[in-house]
Amino acid sequence: MSVASNVERMMLELVNDERAKVGAPPLKLELNLNESAETHSDWMLDTDRFSHTGAGGSSAGERMSDAGFDFDGSWRWAENIAWQSERGERGIRDDVEDLHESLMNSPGHRANILNPDLDVMGIGVERGNFAGYDAVMVSQNFASTGGSLDIDNGGQGVQSASQTVDIGPSITVDDIFVARARGAWREKLAKHTETDESDGDTIAFYEIRDDEGHHNFRMRGEGVIDATDGVIIAADDFERLRVRADDHVGETTVEMRASDGENWGDWADITVVTQSPDDYFGFA
């Protein structure tokens, strides 16, 4: 099962906006469908093939079932795929919007997006080399079933039959003060972070996000991190993660969340305050 990324959730919003225009009920993300969609997008990038026929000659329905989706009773499925080379603004949000428009301009793909008889979907947005280009690949897996569903509720546990089984770690981060001066350029993020994993699980991963593209994150020994679309960091590397000063004095908000390896917690805001050297060091 796979929890959708930020850009995959953005694509869900685009899909449901279109459905609302025609009076179709909104779709929910389903963890097993996320898994099948992401796996197929990765497979197409890895094999340089763009096809609804996937690994081992599989159909989309077979891939959904193999990922654990419960086809039972009255059921149906559909799949959309699309790709384009990366272009435009930094990050892939604009590419995802372009791909959505391309799908809506195709009658068959549009019909799947707007089908009122489909209830859930999974989305796999992946980046990689395809046909010699830096590419963004998307697979959309749609379904309805009389069987059980594992709804993706953003990492707050697997929701099956309205029961929450587990929750993700909760984190809080103090405001971080830095300055464009020697000895003040960056701060270790770990020393400003408090974590509450109420069910006793240990943290396996952190995800950092910098929507504004200020490049406030840096990994010691590796350099600045582009976290515009989110970057996942192994817990073992968290002590090496730094927050760095902005190019200008002022406040910036970035985000972070944590996972126990199964579930993601809520995003926590991190306020990065870049001060002048005089203010930082308390010079009169």
CB 27 within 8 A of CB 16: yes
Q: Looking at the predicted structure, is the pLDDT value of residue 284 above 60?
A: no
CB 70 within 8 A of CB 149: yes
pLDDT, mean over the chain: 89
- Let me know whether 35 and 107 are in one domain: yes
Parent domain of 63: 6-144
Residue 283's pLDDT is: 60
pLDDT digit string (tens) for 113-157? 999 999 999 999 999 999 999 999 999 999 999 999 999 877 554
CA-based end-to-end distance of the chain: 57
| pLDDT confidence band for 267 (50 / 70 / 90) | confident
Q: What is the dihedral of CA 112, 117, 119, 125, to 10 degrees?
A: 0
Between CA 251 and CA 217 the distance in angstroms is: 15
CB 195 within 8 A of CB 169: yes
pLDDT digit string (tens) for 206-239? 999 998 888 899 999 888 999 988 899 999 999 9
pLDDT digit string (tens) for 64-73? 999 999 999 9
- Total domains in the fold of the chain: 2
Name the domain boundary from 99, 128, 144: 144
Between CA 142 and CA 24 the distance in angstroms is: 14
- Let me know whether 29 and 137 are in one domain: yes
Indicate the range of 11-15, 23-27, 193-197 predicted with least confidence. 193-197
Neighbour-count burial of 180, counting CB atoms closer than 10 A to its CB (0-12 exposed, 13-18 middle, 19+ buried): middle
pLDDT digit string (tens) for 178-211? 998 888 999 999 999 998 755 566 898 999 999 8
Residue 200's pLDDT is: 64
- % the chain with pLDDT above 70: 93
Query: What predicted TM-score, i.e. pTM, was given to this entire model?
Result: 0.59
- Let me know whether 18 and 111 are in one domain: yes
Q: Looking at the predicted structure, is the pLDDT value of residue 162 above 50?
A: no
Residue 161's pLDDT is: 41
Give mean pLDDT, residues 92-109.
95
**Amino acid found at 207:** E
- Let me know whether 106 and 177 are in one domain: no
Residue 165's pLDDT is: 42
Q: Is residue 188 part of a domain?
A: yes
pLDDT digit string (tens) for 104-123? 999 999 999 999 999 999 99
Residue scoring higher pLDDT (153 or 83): 83
Name the domain boundary from 110, 144, 178: 144
Residue 164's pLDDT is: 40
- DSSP letter string, 6-29: HHHHHHHHHHHHHHHHTTPPPPEE
Using DSSP, state whether 187 is helix, strand or coil.
strand
Phi, psi of 50 (to 5 degrees): -115, 100
Q: Looking at the predicted structure, is the pLDDT value of residue 3 above 70?
A: yes
CB 168 within 8 A of CB 157: yes
- Let me know whether 175 and 106 are in one domain: no
- % the chain with pLDDT above 90: 71
- Let me know whether 25 and 99 are in one domain: yes
Q: In the chain, what are the helix, strand and coil shares in percent, each to the nearest 5?
A: 25, 35, 40
CA distances from 153 to 22, 138, 191 (A): 25, 21, 29
Strands 268-275 and 176-179: parallel
- Let me know whether 226 and 130 are in one domain: no
Residue 197's pLDDT is: 59
